[in-house]
Amino acid sequence: MDNFTFKEIAAFIGIFLVLVLAIFLVTVKTKHKLSNCLLAFFLFTNALDAIKFLQNGVPVNYINLEAFRWSSNYVVSATFYLYVLSVCYTNFRLKLKHLIHLIPFFAFNALMMWGIYLNDRPTKIMFINSMNDMPLVQFFLYLFEVLFQVYFIASFLVIRKAKKIYLENYTNPNISALNALYKITILYYVLHFIVLIRWLVTYIFGVGEIRAWIVTIDGFSFLFCTCWYLFVALNNPEFFRGVNSDLKPIKEVVSEEKSTPEINEEKNAAIKSLKDFMVKNKPYLDSSLTIQNLAEQVEMPVKDLSTLINLYMDKHFFDFVNEYRIEKAIQILKDPAQKQLTVLEILYQVGFNSKSSFNTSFKKYTGKTPTDFRKETL
């Protein structure tokens, strides 16, 4: 089996898996319909791009379709960025202003209309053969690369901001799923880096054996990326429940002079009152507790409570609440009368709804896993 055969087999399997997943995402009944459709479209455009691995040159009988396939690259990174927004923010909706992301796509198609779509076959072939020497075509190549970098950097920033907001306002967030989204972004970025290497090798060495090997690696990477995403999706069916986009990191909300706060008697009293409330009323036992819920219970504005915890106590709301849950879990694990309870039963009892989240928080707080802690204390 030579390299090209291997490349074609890998690409065919990858395209098939991508299309099946895209169809499933569009047809499945779910409350995350928008994010599913955006991801399906992103995967579909990737499948269109991967058709290049099954071709040897430009298909002469389908030049118009091939040119349109090229243009689809100008919506790939924008679609992924919108997908990230839809996953990270529960109230994200597509609006007319988002049509601005289609401008490069329409601009490139305008160029193809002038050079390919409206011409006869000899003129089309002549245009394709001279494309690499055209300044306008080179501009679109550079534009594609700039857009890719901008959109993926923006995606990284959105994920980081959403994670920060989640930790400051929610408990039991599915951080593992959010981390998976971050890794997926990195993976697609690496996939694009391989494409950059292919372009560079083609520019320096031309079409040869080195480029053929890189194309083979590119095709296999596409298959690997698709399979890895399927693995992530199957392990995180809810993926990420998202945050409200109206929320902001607390340091963006409070005034600049409070970014390095000094704790006075008033703040100390508020902190003591909050801690007493947590011990007495045990609101942390509610697995769906949010900072809005707690603010209502302590009769304090959400902004003031968030500032008190995240700035003056220097803790994320996530860590603040989970410390009480871990303390409660420690009491149960130390109690011989409750040794019949499993770790799973305990984590639900103290307010966690995820075993991985409980184990991570428990080890962060005690340095041991719940099972090891129980063995050492009983």
Q: How far apart are CA 227 and CA 243, in angstroms?
A: 28
Is residue 300 pLDDT above 80, yes or no?
A: yes
The answer to whether 105 and 75 are in contact (CB under 8 A) is: yes
Q: How far apart are CA 285 and CA 278, in angstroms?
A: 10
Spell out the residues 6+ positions from residue 86 whose beta carbon is closer than 8 angstroms to its own. Answer: 32, 34, 35, 38, 92
Confidence of residue 151 (pLDDT cuts 50, 70, 90): very high
Spell out the residues 6+ positions from residue 374 whose beta carbon is closer than 8 angstroms to its own. Answer: 333, 339, 343
Q: How far apart are CA 230 and CA 22, in angstroms?
A: 11
Is residue 101 pLDDT above 90, yes or no?
A: yes
Q: How far apart are CA 41 and CA 29, in angstroms?
A: 17
Is residue 173 pLDDT above 70, yes or no?
A: no
What's the pLDDT score for residue 240? 43
Confidence of residue 257 (pLDDT cuts 50, 70, 90): very low
Is residue 302 pLDDT above 90, yes or no?
A: no
End-to-end C-alpha distance for the chain, whole angstroms: 61
Largest CA distance in the chain: 87
Q: How far apart are CA 81 and CA 104, in angstroms?
A: 15
Mean pLDDT of 42-68: 84
Mean pLDDT of 314-335: 89
Q: How far apart are CA 285 and CA 331, in angstroms?
A: 14
Token output for 74: 């100008």
Confidence of residue 216 (pLDDT cuts 50, 70, 90): low
Q: What are 178-211's pLDDT values in tens digits?
A: 777 787 788 788 877 777 776 676 666 666 666 6
Q: What is the dihedral of CA 58, 63, 67, 72, to 10 degrees?
A: -90
| Residue 30 amino acid letter | T
Confidence of residue 241 (pLDDT cuts 50, 70, 90): very low
What the chain holds in terms of domains, given with CATH numbers, is 3-235 (1.20.1070), 251-377 (1.10.10.60)
In percent, how much of the chain has pLDDT > 70?
A: 79
Confidence of residue 253 (pLDDT cuts 50, 70, 90): low
Q: How far apart are CA 1 and CA 19, in angstroms?
A: 26
Count of CB atoms situated within 10 Å of the CB of 253: 16
Confidence of residue 174 (pLDDT cuts 50, 70, 90): low
Q: What are 116-147's pLDDT values in tens digits?
A: 999 998 999 999 889 878 999 989 988 988 89
Is residue 258 pLDDT above 70, yes or no?
A: no
Look up the pTM and report it. Answer: 0.73
Q: How far apart are CA 85 and CA 42, in angstroms?
A: 14
